[in-house]
Amino acid sequence: MEIMGATLRICVDDLETSIPFYERIAGAPALRNERGGVKVAAIGFFLLMSGPEAELEILRKVTATIAVKDVEEAHRELAALGAQIIAGPVPTPAGRNMIVRHPDGSIFEYVDRFAAS
């Protein structure tokens, strides 16, 4: 499995207020999306999320998003190493993703690619 990079996940109260700060420090424009009532802005290596608390509570459990060359390959390798595949792999607008619990209990999202590349 080839890891290409990682994205830091940050839940914010007000996405529109937070975006300019992260655009300045990342030197990149925000790529916006909305999914399940959660507004998302990908800015460099940051993924800002804002929305209903019930949704954010679930999203906060995911430590980070890890970009890999091939999610299917990562799926096979992680499962063989004893990781629990919680969801996926599934297609998304930006590639495929899956949610994985590592043997130590940490939860990560794995994606084929990410906005910061």
Q: Give the whole-angstrom CA distance, residue 83 versus residue 103.
A: 5
What per-residue confidence (pLDDT) applies to 115? 43
pLDDT in tens, 1-55: 888 888 899 999 999 999 999 999 999 999 998 877 899 999 999 999 999 998 8
Residue in the block written with tokens 């999202």 = 109
- Model pTM score: 0.77
What pLDDT shows up at residue 76? Answer: 96
Does the pLDDT at position 58 exceed 90?
Answer: no
CA 99 from chain center: how many Å?
9
> Which residue's structure tokens are 């830091």?
8
Cβ proximity of 108 and 66 under 8 Å: yes
DSSP-assigned letter for residue 114: -
**Angle ∠(87,92,95) on CA atoms, nearest 5:** 105
